[in-house]
Amino acid sequence: MHPHPFFLTRRQCLLAGAGLSLLRAGPAAAATLPMPASLPDALAAALKKGSPLVVMVSLVGCPFCTIARDHYLAPMQGQSGLSIVQIDMRNRDMVKDFNGASQSQDQLIRSWGIKVAPTVLFFGRGGVEVAERLVGGYIPDFYGAYLDDRLRTARAAVTS
């Protein structure tokens, strides 16, 4: 221990400098995904591009939802043009479901039996799920691999 109480090691100085530079940069802008008014319309647009419709079920304030959206889904949408929409638990905004009925986003999520956020669903023709749901945050190191695997399955189902 150094006799002076304000002595910082080189490592501590570097870490402090890195922290200050992050503070100056400000918080990263949160990614957004569109919230559909009509799932059949969103699905038709996705299928026209030869893609499944990916639906992220989220919950306001959910840190795992933020990671899934900001680090995986939004970049995929931007880079590959994948059709991805977001529906929120506890949201009372109306959306047209695959049967043509209007219901709140919250009601729709409950009708799908979803209880965990984030949940990512993959829809093909007729509003049928074409890949296994991706439920929860999983381990961040593997989330991308799980997502890629389900997207491969969904794309194959849509293009066959």
Domains along the chain? 39-159 (3.40.30.10)
Predicted confidence band of residue 93 (pLDDT cuts 50, 70, 90) = very high
pTM for this predicted structure:
0.80
Q: What pLDDT shows up at residue 14?
A: 36
15 Cβ contact partners less than 8 Å away, ≥ 6 residues apart: none
If you average pLDDT over residues 138-159, what whole number do you get? 89
Q: Say yes or no to pLDDT of 109 above 90.
A: yes
Cβ contacts of 133 within 8 Å, gap of 6 or more: 114, 119, 120, 121, 122
**Contact predicate 54/157, CB 8 Å:** no
Q: Mean of the per-residue pLDDT values for the chain?
A: 83
pLDDT confidence band for 24 (50 / 70 / 90):
very low
Cβ atoms 58, 87 nearer than 8 A: yes
